[in-house]
Structure 1
């Protein structure tokens, strides 16, 4: 029996390693190609390690004429605005649905579920007309409004599960010890909800940062492109009919950098939130 279990674990480990390599290979190839000249990228003989590579592709992308800086500023602004508003609104909504009993509560929860069931493409025309009527086309404010409306329902549903998982008795015990309701919430409940807020924030961040379809509808001007739109235009053939794949790969790496930085920050916050919640509880 022990031999069979050991064999099974080894097979599972081998399968996991193979899947991990398959998942990581496109990322490795993107980074590797970003340092290579066009002649090596298009060569029939692959270059596995970019020995002798250079930063020329990154310098070309960061050149002011490419529009990368403007697209980065727009994406960061839209993502920051949408993320903050989404987390605040969804968190308050999750608290109301989980902690309080009010008229129309079930209808509200049902409406949140129904909104998630609607295909996003079915609302493009209505959303476009609404933003155009507000004169917010090609603006950060207009795109942020739509992104908040897009992300809030599912984020609220996620946070509702986390809030419902924290017993209200903890707050009541703290209030018996002399805390006000607000103090009990901030000292006891909030640290326990920190991992849930981080998980929901990660979802909201990825949804907004990588969104392409809505941005292509609402941000039609070249001067108001988000990074996904900029990367689409940057990967189109030049006037000589050739795609600068090295620069495209370098641009893709630069687009991924904020995501990596965000995850590094979030990972630390998630760990501290879980430890703080365990101590407070």
Structure 2
């Protein structure tokens, strides 16, 4: 009987260690943004700012980046991330529904192909994507970057949503048809609320992936005013060195929209679990 409490304490201690290791980089990023330069570049370990300062944050806000306000880059990242969420979520839901509900030739090969696409490094697709966007006239445009990020998140979204759609019994739709509902109405009123948690989960993945994406944005965008936040952070690094304080302050600002987006959609995630046909 003693082994169980000891094992429980051991697992709890291990969980605390993992939690501390996960949170420490974020804590260090936030606190470094408020440290003066002498505390940042010292060889001593300073766990928190001794003389807190807003000079780095003030430099990010007032001086901007590469001649543009930091809000320009934040707005670009927000447009790209939300656009990728909408496009990837819509087409992933259609693809997942087709795979889960219908039987057609090449269905298994298509699923395997989705996995193969996920194995291909994004860097290997830069040149083909760049050539394709040139022919479409979408280079140096946020819409082109939205399509690229949506396409990157699409295979994962289809695989995840496929499980959610398959878990919804077909009989629920058939019952709605018998009650006079059209195919679209039955899907929207019965199936969609039950699939909504999966759609929220994929939207979180799509948003974070598009928000933090760097290589595609750096390659496909040429105009500085169209750069996203990850590319803008690169301007704080010059031949004279890196402005660590400004980088940490800007990176802290960059994490806020992700947290806000998660707080907004997590309510939908919980609500979706109790919506639809499971309601009385």
TM-score calculated relative to the size of structure 1: 0.90
Map of 2:203 onto structure 1:
201
Check the 8 A contact 1:71/1:225 in 2, yes or no.
Answer: yes
Give the distance between the partners of 1:118 and 1:50, measured in 2 at CA: 43
Greater alpha carbon shift after TM alignment, 84-93 vs 65-74 = 65-74
Map of 1:61 onto structure 2:
60
Deviation digits for residues 196-252 of structure 1, max 9, x if unmatched? 011111111111111112222112333322111111222x136xx243211111011
Give the distance between the partners of 2:235 and 2:95, measured in 1 at CA: 39
Check 1:32–1:105 CA distance in 2 against 1; reply closer, same or farther (3 A cut): same
**For 1:26-41, what aligned pairs fall within 5 Å after superposition?**
26-41=25-40
Q: Aligned match of 2:220 in 218, 221, 231?
A: 218
Check the 8 A contact 1:188/1:280 in 2, yes or no.
Answer: no
Offset of residue 103 of structure 1: 4.3
Give 5+ residue unaligned stretches, structure 2: none
Greater alpha carbon shift after TM alignment, 60-69 vs 21-30 = 60-69
Map of 1:109 onto structure 2:
111
Give the distance between the partners of 2:10 and 2:217, measured in 1 at CA: 44
Map of 1:134 onto structure 2:
136
Aligned residues: 277
Check the 8 A contact 1:31/1:249 in 2, yes or no.
Answer: yes
Give the distance between the partners of 1:114 and 1:185, measured in 2 at CA: 30
Give the distance between the partners of 2:178 and 2:136, measured in 1 at CA: 50
SS across alignment from 1:14: helix
Give the distance between the partners of 1:93 and 1:12, measured in 2 at CA: 41
Check the 8 A contact 2:81/2:208 in 1, yes or no.
Answer: no
Offset of residue 163 of structure 1: 0.7
Check 1:278–1:44 CA distance in 2 against 1; reply closer, same or farther (3 A cut): farther
Give 5+ residue unaligned stretches, structure 1: none
C-alpha RMSD of matched pairs (Å): 2.0
Check the 8 A contact 2:60/2:249 in 1, yes or no.
Answer: yes
Greater alpha carbon shift after TM alignment, 93-102 vs 49-58 = 49-58
Offset of residue 271 of structure 1: 0.9
SS across alignment from 2:242: coil
Offset of residue 11 of structure 1: 0.4
Give the distance between the partners of 1:123 and 1:242, measured in 2 at CA: 31
**For 1:40-119, what aligned pairs fall within 5 Å after superposition?**
40-63=39-62, 65-66=64-65, 67=68, 68-119=70-121
Offset of residue 137 of structure 1: 1.9
Map of 2:238 onto structure 1:
237
Offset of residue 51 of structure 1: 4.8
TM-score calculated relative to the size of structure 2: 0.91
Offset of residue 126 of structure 1: 1.1
Check the 8 A contact 1:38/1:244 in 2, yes or no.
Answer: no
